[in-house]
Structure 1
C-alpha cells in the first residue's frame, strides 16, 4: 500500500467511525504513521558480531518481578566465570537490596546499587566496566534504556516488548546499525523445550512446507493487574485503560517467526486486527470496588492476522482479562504434520488419503518423536535447567545462557534487533488496525531488504 492509498483508507475508516484522521496510537497522526510505515533501513546489523568477551560484565536495570528472576539465571554463568554482575538499579532501595542479598548468599559478593532518582540507571550505562545491560523495567522504559545503553557503548538485552511504538522500533534499528552494538529482545518462549522441539522437527523436514501458524498470550492477569504492589505503580493496567490492541505479541509470535524463517527468507506483509468488547476486567474491578479500573479501553480478546510475503498466515490472540487457563496455542500447520500446544500434541499426515481416522499421535508414538527430534540444547543443559526451573521451567536460563555464551564467543545473537522490533511492532500496528475498523495495515521492512536472504535461524546452532 502506498502513502496515498494508506491516507485514503485511513480517512475513510475515520469517517466511518466518526473519529478524526489525527487519531493514532500514542497520538501519532495518520500522516506520521504512514511515513513510519515506509521508512527504509540499511540492514547492517544482521549477522552482527562483536569482539569476544571472556567474562561479560553485566548491569541489571530493574529489580522487580523479572529482575529478581533473571539475576538467578546468571548464577551458573557467574560461578563458571562466563559473566559477572557488576551493578543493579531500581527506583526502590529495598529491591536492589533483595538482588544483592541473592548475590551475597550465592557468590559471596554484591553489586554496586543505584536507586532513588528516576535517572539513576543512567549511571550504570555510563560506567566503563560494563559490557551488557539487562533491561527488566516497565514497557515504556525499554526503548529509552536500550538507546542510551547502545550510545554508551553497551550491548543491550531487553524484556518484551523492546518497543511499543513504530517510532521507537525505528530508533532501535537505526541506533543498533550505527553503533554496531547487539540489541536483543529477551523473548524467553523461543528457548522453551516444546518450541525448540517443534523448530527442530520443522528444520528436519517433518512438517514439509508450512502454511499457517497460531500463537497467543492468554493469561488471566486480573489479580496481577489490579494488585497494589505486584506491578510498580500498577503500570501495566494503565495500558489497558487507554489503548486497544494486542499488547503482548511476542510470546506467540517469536517462536512462530523462527518456525517460518521470518527475516531469513520471508517477512510479514500486512496485518489485520480486531478486538472483542470489554467486559471481564471492568466487572472484576467492580467486584473489587476499584472504580479507577472500571473504564477499560482494551477489549477482552484481540485477534490479529498476519500474512507473510510468501503467503503464509499467522493468527495471534491476546487475552489477559478472561478467567481461563493459560495458553500460547503454539499451533503449526504444514503439508506433512500439524502441532498444537497446551497440551502438546502432534499429527503426522500420511501420504495415502483417508476418509476418517485423522487422530493425534498416541502417547507412545508421540514420545518417539519427542526423543528423536528433541533439540540437543535441552539435553546438553539438563542439569542446569533442572537447577533453574524457577525461570519459567528453565527457558529463562537457556535464554540467558545462550546470550552470554554468544558474547563470550563473539557470535551473532539468537535474536537480533530486526527480529526484536518486528515482533514488537505488531502491537502498534494492531492498535492502528483496530482503531480504523480493522483495516489492513502494511508492515514496515526494518531490515533494508536483507530478509530476502535465506538463512537458518541462529537458534539451531550448537554453542
Structure 2
C-alpha cells in the first residue's frame, strides 16, 4: 500500500483535499499537519445533553450475530417492566433473524418487523418513525455510516465498539450528533463491570489520592474466533489484521481508565506513542490450521503510551494473537493506593516507609473495601443482573439498563459522543505512530476546549434510577 493510501485509510478520504501538495514522507512535521487537516468545527455543545424523556424506548436492532443476540437478551427485564419495546430487526442471515425472533417471543408479545432483503435494507428500519433508538451491532466498517444515518433520521444511537476507526469518521460522528442533537453512545460494557465500577468508586472517594498512572488492555486469544469460517461473518475481523497494525480494540481497557481519570471532564489526552512487536503467533497458527489467510501485518502485541494534559500516563496493550488467559490489566496508581486486576488486588499506602515487604491487603481487608466501595449502581442491580450472566457476567445488562433508564428519564447518558470519539481515535493515531517509528502523535480535541471544565461523571450521578 502506498503511503498516501495508507494515511487516507487512517485519517479519512478527504484528509488531503485542503493540503494537496503536502509531503507524504515520514517526517515529524507532516503528520501533525495531516491530523489537523481532518479537524472539523465542533462546539462541545452536547456535554450534559438532556433529550426529551421517552416513557417507553422503542428500539431497532441492526446486526443479530454473536453480539446482537446477546444484547437483545439484556432487554428482557426492561421490556417486561414497560421501559422498552423491540420494534424491528435487521440482519442479512435468515438464521440470525430466526434465533432473534425466538428469543424475543419468550418475553414480548408483539413481533419485531424484519428488514433482511439486502445490504441496504437496514436504512428502511432506520427511517421508521416509531423507533427512538438504534442499537448497532455490525462489523466495524459499518459503525460510522449507520450511526450517522440514524442520527440524520432522528434516532438516538447506541453503537458497538469502536464507533469509528478513522479520524475523519470520528469528527463526522461528533459533528452529526451536535447538529441533530441526538445522543450517540458507544456501548462500552467494561465500564459497567463490577471490578471497574468498584475501582472507580474508590477513586471518586479519594482512596487512591491523586492519580498518576493507569494500565489497561485487551489481551484475549481470538485465534479460534478469527480463523473460524463461521464465528465472524465472512471472517471480517481477521481481515483487519492483514492490512493494519496498531491497537484496534482500545476501549475495553481505556474506557474505564478514562472514567478513573475524568477524561473529557477536566483532563484529556494530549499525545501518544505506539509500537508493535513482530507478528508470529497468528500466522503460524493459520498455517497449522490450513486457514485461507497466512500473512498478517498486525504485530502480536501492541503497546501504546498516552500522556494527559494534567501529566498522567496511560499504558494500553492489545494482543489477540497469543495463547494466554484473558486480561484487561486494570491497573490504577495514585499517591495513596494501587489496584491491579486479574485477579483484583489492592495496596493501600499507610505512610510508613519500607525497604521491602510491600504486600497487597489481605482478603478480609479487601472485603471491607469491597463492601464499602461497591458502586451504588452495582448494589442496586445486583439481584436482577444475576439472571443475565450470559451478558459478560451481568455487565451487559447493567449497561443496557443505564442506557434505557437515562433515556426514559431524559438524563445525560453515562458515555457521551465525545467520550466515544476520544476513546476510538486512539486506534488510528496508534496506527500512525506505529508506521512512523513510534513517533509521538498529538491528539485532536473533539470538544473544542470544553474538556477543561471539571465535571462529575454521569455514571456517578442518578445512581438510584
Q: Supply the distance in 1 between the matched residues of 2:452 and 2:131 (Cα, whole angstroms).
A: 35
How far residue 278 of structure 1 moved from its aligned partner, in angstroms, is 0.1
Bigger mean CA deviation after superposition, 156-165 or 89-98: 89-98
Q: Supply the distance in 1 between the matched residues of 2:156 and 2:107 (Cα, whole angstroms).
A: 25
Contact kept, 8 Å, 1:25 with 1:432, in 2: the verdict is no
Q: Supply the distance in 1 between the matched residues of 2:349 and 2:262 (Cα, whole angstroms).
A: 22
Q: How does 1:271-290 map to 2 (within 5 A)?
A: 271-290=272-291
Match of 1:200, SS state, is helix
| Matched residue, 1:349 | 349
How far residue 96 of structure 1 moved from its aligned partner, in angstroms, is 1.2
Contact kept, 8 Å, 1:92 with 1:116, in 2: the verdict is no
| Matched residue, 1:423 | 423
Q: Supply the distance in 2 between the matched residues of 1:162 and 1:67 (Cα, whole angstroms).
A: 15
| Matched residue, 1:10 | none
How far residue 19 of structure 1 moved from its aligned partner, in angstroms, is 7.5
Report whether the alignment pairs 1:403 with 2:403. yes
Contact kept, 8 Å, 1:101 with 1:110, in 2: the verdict is no
| Matched residue, 1:437 | 437
How far residue 39 of structure 1 moved from its aligned partner, in angstroms, is 4.3
What is the alpha-carbon root mean square deviation over aligned residues? Answer: 1.4
Unaligned runs of 5+ in 2: 17-23, 25-29
Q: CA 1:425/1:386 → structure 2, altered by over 3 Å: closer, same or farther?
A: same
| Matched residue, 1:337 | 337
Match of 1:107, SS state, is coil
| Matched residue, 1:317 | 317
Bigger mean CA deviation after superposition, 175-184 or 96-105: 96-105
Q: Supply the distance in 1 between the matched residues of 2:212 and 2:41 (Cα, whole angstroms).
A: 28
| Matched residue, 1:151 | 152
How far residue 305 of structure 1 moved from its aligned partner, in angstroms, is 0.4
| Matched residue, 1:24 | 7
| Matched residue, 1:189 | 190
Q: Deviations over 1:334-378 (max 9, x none)?
A: 000000000000000111212222110111111110001110111
| Matched residue, 1:302 | 302
Match of 2:265, SS state, is coil
Contact kept, 8 Å, 2:58 with 2:87, in 1: the verdict is yes
| Matched residue, 1:50 | 51
Contact kept, 8 Å, 1:50 with 1:410, in 2: the verdict is yes
| Matched residue, 1:387 | 387
Report whether the alignment pairs 1:251 with 2:252. yes
- Number of residues of Structure 1 aligned to a counterpart in Structure 2: 445
| Matched residue, 2:412 | 412
| Matched residue, 1:12 | none
Report whether the alignment pairs 1:98 with 2:81. no
| Matched residue, 2:369 | 369
Contact kept, 8 Å, 1:143 with 1:163, in 2: the verdict is yes
Q: How does 1:57-76 map to 2 (within 5 A)?
A: 57-76=58-77
Unaligned runs of 5+ in 1: 1-17
Report whether the alignment pairs 1:224 with 2:225. yes
Contact kept, 8 Å, 2:207 with 2:336, in 1: the verdict is yes
Match of 1:304, SS state, is strand
Contact kept, 8 Å, 1:189 with 1:254, in 2: the verdict is yes
Q: CA 1:275/1:187 → structure 2, altered by over 3 Å: closer, same or farther?
A: same
Q: Deviations over 1:26-83 (max 9, x none)?
A: 1656568333465442111111111100000000000000110000000000000000
Contact kept, 8 Å, 1:36 with 1:167, in 2: the verdict is no
| Matched residue, 2:19 | none
Q: CA 1:194/1:92 → structure 2, altered by over 3 Å: closer, same or farther?
A: same
Contact kept, 8 Å, 2:152 with 2:176, in 1: the verdict is yes
Contact kept, 8 Å, 2:36 with 2:444, in 1: the verdict is no
Contact kept, 8 Å, 1:24 with 1:435, in 2: the verdict is no
Match of 2:262, SS state, is coil
Report whether the alignment pairs 1:81 with 2:101. no
Q: Supply the distance in 2 between the matched residues of 1:305 and 1:47 (Cα, whole angstroms).
A: 29
Q: Deviations over 1:383-423 (max 9, x none)?
A: 21101111000000000000000000000000000000100
How far residue 116 of structure 1 moved from its aligned partner, in angstroms, is 3.1
Match of 1:24, SS state, is helix
| Matched residue, 1:8 | none
Q: Supply the distance in 2 between the matched residues of 1:330 and 1:106 (Cα, whole angstroms).
A: 36
Q: Deviations over 1:84-109 (max 9, x none)?
A: 00000001122112111111122233
Contact kept, 8 Å, 1:161 with 1:248, in 2: the verdict is yes
Q: Supply the distance in 1 between the matched residues of 2:331 and 2:302 (Cα, whole angstroms).
A: 17
Match of 1:381, SS state, is helix
Report whether the alignment pairs 1:132 with 2:115. no
Q: Supply the distance in 1 between the matched residues of 2:8 and 2:97 (Cα, whole angstroms).
A: 34
